Structures are given as structure tokens and as C-alpha cells.
Amino acid sequence: MTDLFSDDHARALDDADALRAFRHEFLIPRHDGVEQAYFCGNSLGLQPKGARAHVEEVLRKWSEEAVEAHFTAPGAWMPYHELVRDPLAAVVGAQPSEVVAMNSLTANLHLLMVSFYQPTVERTAILIEAGAFPSDRYAVESQLKYRGLPPEHTLIEVQPDNADGTFSMAAIENAIREHGKRLALVLWPGVQYRTGQAFDLKEIARITHEVGAIAGFDLAHAVGNLPLQLHDSGADFAVWCHYKYMNSGPGAVAGCFVHERHARTDRPRFAGWWGHEQSTRFRMGPDFVPTPGADGWQLSNPPILGLAPLRASLDLFSRAGMDALRARSKRLTGYLEALIHARLADTLQIVTPAAPAQRGCQLSLRVAGGRARGRTLFEHLGAQGIIGDWREPDVIRISPAPLYNTHADVLRFARAVDRWQAGA
Ligand SMILES: *Cc1c(COP(=O)(O)O)cnc(C)c1O
């Protein structure tokens, strides 16, 4: 029988992997001179080596060309956001005109709710998952208040029906149908940040539309993690950030999606000059004429320095391809799961669903014995350069990212836990 815990086994799995070379495209932080086993791409992805050149190109153009750099190739700033459009559309399964890189995730969520949360006399409610990422909940609650609606009556939070805090599709469907007539908007995550559960977005959009509401998705933990088919999902809008699995740097410029059927919508929106129809933007007229598609929600001329690393990141995604990355991701996370089942089950309980279709790369691991024991283990791992992240009260999230993590990284984590539980 193969020894899952042997170096040879992990090495053989890595050697057989067609995508293994992508790790060398990243700068991996070191710990005591050795590369970390970095499993925190769910929080801040690592720096692609190519990012620096793109940032330096912007700095160089600024120093040598200044205002002219808006128009000088290569990398002219005026159409700079268009450089990321096609590869970004490919990552999220959208048509190019349906996506735009702009602002931050929470800002985009607000902008799109201004357009797509339109309460009527009958429909005032927004439905989200209980335990949503705080920023999303704050955004939703503040939109309700902004419309003069009391969140106690208009914010519907669906409780997870499984003991581990995950949702069955039936629970989601029942909640949407139960409140259907009052729902204006369903805002659901692609992957839930705490549990790592992935959802069938197409099905959620279908049910939401059946009851007559708008379907919006927060894909912060899904983009760059799972292949998405946003256009085919039928979602009305989606938002996400680029500093997690998209590896575009701290506070990176975020993304959003507006389905083609809303490309020329006359819904209200908060407008800015960069959303104005391109051919006439610089006539500087007083009346706002939105450019069709997602671009029409832009407010400002984009932060070029902030967009530059996204180019390097998208280059890697284009070369690797989301489907191949997902296949590798399933192998890495499956290996992590197998190691836990083989020897670590007394210490680590996997919260994330076991079915690959219901998860991305992340496993959320509840440490047996409660918070204090969990913290001790977490700190013990960190002290060896094994970097996950901690979610109160007792969960360690480990996210093997298929662009840069290896089976050897995963083995290093499992061995460290194994040694710790033997000594603890
Ligand atoms: C990471 C994350 C955010 C962060 O919001 P920012 O506006 O990028 O700071 C918001 N929502 C979810 C679900 C997240 O995972």
C-alpha cells in the first residue's frame, strides 16, 4: 500500500503534475531560510514575479512621459482597464463586456445594489446567508437603512441546516420560496468564507428568478478558485476582489459582473465620468450617458498602479487555464483530506463539505479540544513557516492554491500536525 505520508509519494504526485512549474512564477516568503508552506491564498495570494515589471512600467511611463502616457503604447493608461478585460472574462466565464475591474469589492457591492436593489411596495427584502462576511452584511443592512427600511423586517438571514454550519440546497431553496413574494434581492456567496462551502450558482439564480427577485453573487472566495460560468449562471450581477486567489496584491483593484441583459438598463445608478459613453466622454457635457455593459458603472479613472499587478496575475491564469487549475486543485485538496482522514482525524474535523462539487481549494478544520488547543496548534504551525489562517473560535483554514502550492507543502502541514498531536 502507498504510504500517503512518505516524501516519495508527495514528490511523485508533484512530479506528475503538468502545472508544477507555475510555483516558480511566484515569490514565496521564507521562514528560517526555507520557503513557507503558504496556505493563505484565501486571504492574500502570493506575489507573481511578473507583477514588479508591470508596476515599474507604470512608474517609468509616469517619470518619462507623464500626461502623455495616457495615450502612448505600450500600456497606455487611457484604455488600461481594457488590458485586463478579456482574461478576466475568461476566469469568471463571462462575456468581455460583462466585466470590469474597478474600485474595491465592498464599493462595487454598494454601487450594484444601488442599481439592482430596487424595493417596491411588495418587494423590500434582501436574503443573505446567516454568518455572511461582515462587510457584506454591513453593506446590505446600510442599503436597507438608506432606503428607509428597517432591517429587522427586511434583512432575511438563512440559517445553515447542517450541524457543521453548511447549507443544503433544499434549505436555500425553501428560504427563497418561503419569502419569494417579498424578496427584491438574493445575495449569495460563491464560496462561503468560513466553511469553504461552494454553491450551485446557476441553481440559486434560477430559483431566485422564479420567485421574481434579482440574483447577485459575492465571489470573493470563488474567483480564481473555481471555474465560474457567470454568464450562463444567469446572475444579474456579481462582485469580487483580486487579492485573494487572484494574487494581485493587497487592496488590489476589484472586479464586477453585470449580465448582458442589463447592458443598457435604465435602472438608476450612481454615476461618474468614467462610466460615460466613451466616444463622447471628453466632450465633458453635463448629461450622463452610460456606456453599455459593466463599464457603465465605473466612476473614476482607474488607479493604474493598482491595476498593474492584475495584468501579471491574469497572464498566469490565461496560461494555466481555470479547468486545469481546478483539476490540480482537486488533487491537492483531496490529498490534504486523505492525510487528515488517515491520521489526523482525532485533532482536525473537516467542516467543509466532502463532495468536490461543494468546495473549492479551502478546507476549514475545526480543532478538537476547543479554542485554547486550537490556538496552540495554529501558533505551533506558524512557528514552522506553515501559514494558514485562524477563524474564531476554533477553526484553521488551509487553502492549497493550485498555482503555487505543492503536495509537498500539504504533506508538511499534515506531518507537523501529526507530530504535534503525538507530543501534545
Ligand atoms: C474578502 C471579502 C471581502 C472584503 O471586502 P473588501 O471590500 O475587499 O475589503 C468582502 N466580502 C467577502 C465575502 C470577502 O470574502
Q: Please tell me whether residues 176 and 312 are part of one structural domain.
A: yes
Asked whether the predicted pLDDT for residue 272 surpasses 90, the reply is: yes
Q: Measure the CA–CA gap between 203 and 357, rounded to whole angstroms.
A: 13
pLDDT band, residue 286 (cuts 50/70/90): confident
Residue 105: CB within 6 Å of ligand 1?
Answer: yes
Is residue 20, in this structure, part of any structural domain at all?
A: yes
Q: Which residue among 303, 318, 333 closes a domain?
A: 318
Q: Please tell me whether residues 155 and 246 are part of one structural domain.
A: yes
Number of structural domains in the chain: 2
Is residue 228, in this structure, part of any structural domain at all?
A: yes
Q: Please tell me whether residues 297 and 409 are part of one structural domain.
A: no
Residue 218: CB within 6 Å of ligand 1?
Answer: yes
Residue 401: CB within 6 Å of ligand 1?
Answer: no
Is residue 95, in this structure, part of any structural domain at all?
A: yes
CB 269 within 8 A of CB 290: yes
- Tens digit of pLDDT for each residue in 231-270? 999 999 999 999 999 999 999 999 999 999 999 999 999 9
Strand pairing category for 348-350 and 363-367: antiparallel
**Probe residue for ligand 1, chosen from 103, 112, 136, 137 as the CB with the greatest number of ligand atoms within 8 Å:** 136
Task: Give distance in angstroms: CA of 61 to centre of ligand 1.
Answer: 32
Q: Please tell me whether residues 24 and 95 are part of one structural domain.
A: no
Q: Which residue among 262, 287, 318 closes a domain?
A: 318
pLDDT band, residue 307 (cuts 50/70/90): very high
**CATH number of the domain that residue 20 is part of:** 3.90.1150.10
pLDDT at 186: 98
pLDDT band, residue 87 (cuts 50/70/90): very high
Q: Helices 322-339 & 304-320, crossing angle to 10 degrees? A: 80
Buried b (16+ CB within 10 A) or exposed e, 26-59: bebeebeeebbbbbbbbbbbbbbebbeebbebbe
Q: Write out the three cell numbers for 336.
A: 490534504
Range(s) of the domain holding residue 100: 55-318
Cβ-based neighbour number of residue 178 at 10 Å: 14
Q: In the predicted model, what is the mean pLDDT of residues 102-108? A: 98
Is residue 43, in this structure, part of any structural domain at all?
A: no
pLDDT band, residue 89 (cuts 50/70/90): very high
User: For cell 471628453, what's the residue?
Assistant: 282
pLDDT at 43: 97
Is residue 239, in this structure, part of any structural domain at all?
A: yes
Nearest CA to ligand 1 atom 2: 220
Q: Measure the CA–CA gap between 377 and 327, rounded to whole angstroms.
A: 30
Summarize the annotated binding site for pyridoxal 5'-phosphate as residue ranges: 105-106, 133-136, 218, 221, 243, 273, 301
pLDDT at 283: 84
Q: Which amino acid is at 245?
A: Y
Q: Which residue among 318, 340, 368 closes a domain?
A: 318
164: alpha, beta or left? (left if phi > 0; alpha if psi -120 to 50): alpha
pLDDT at 424: 61
pLDDT at 322: 96
- Tens digit of pLDDT for each residue in 133-185? 999 999 999 999 999 999 999 999 999 999 999 999 999 999 999 999 999 99
Q: Please tell me whether residues 112 and 259 are part of one structural domain.
A: yes
Q: Please tell me whether residues 104 and 229 are part of one structural domain.
A: yes
Query: Chain-wide mean pLDDT for the chain?
Result: 97
Residue 322: name the closest of 1, 19, 43, 10 by CA. Answer: 19
Q: Please tell me whether residues 86 and 230 are part of one structural domain.
A: yes
- Tens digit of pLDDT for each residue in 196-211? 999 999 999 999 999 9
Q: Please tell me whether residues 283 and 357 are part of one structural domain.
A: no
Q: Measure the CA–CA gap between 401 and 316, rounded to whole angstroms.
A: 13
**CATH number of the domain that residue 215 is part of:** 3.40.640.10
pLDDT band, residue 278 (cuts 50/70/90): confident
Is residue 45, in this structure, part of any structural domain at all?
A: no
Task: Give distance in angstroms: CA of 264 to centre of ligand 1.
Answer: 28
Kindly report the backbone phi and psi dihedral angles of residue 339, in degrees, each rounded to the nearest multiple of 5, phi listed first: -65, -40
pLDDT at 282: 82
Is residue 165, in this structure, part of any structural domain at all?
A: yes
CB 259 within 8 A of CB 282: no
- Does this model's pTM top 0.75? My answer is yes
- Tens digit of pLDDT for each residue in 346-400? 999 999 999 999 999 999 999 999 999 999 999 999 999 999 999 999 999 999 9
Residue 108: CB within 6 Å of ligand 1?
Answer: no
Q: Please tell me whether residues 314 and 211 are part of one structural domain.
A: yes
Asked whether the predicted pLDDT for residue 280 surpasses 90, the reply is: no
Task: Give distance in angstroms: CA of 252 to centre of ligand 1.
Answer: 11
Task: Give distance in angstroms: CA of 135 to centre of ligand 1.
Answer: 6
Is residue 61, in this structure, part of any structural domain at all?
A: yes
pLDDT at 279: 85
Q: Please tell me whether residues 384 and 410 are part of one structural domain.
A: yes
DSSP string covering 207-265, please? HHHHTT-EEEEE-TTTTTTS---HHHHT-SEEEE-SSSTT---TT---EEEE-GGGTT-
Q: Measure the CA–CA gap between 274 and 249, rounded to whole angstroms.
A: 24
Q: Please tell me whether residues 300 and 339 are part of one structural domain.
A: no
DSSP string covering 87-140, please? HHHHHHT--GGGEEE-S-HHHHHHHHHHHH----SS--EEEEETT--HHHHHHH
Q: In the predicted model, what is the mean pLDDT of residues 407-413? A: 98
Q: Please tell me whether residues 172 and 275 are part of one structural domain.
A: yes
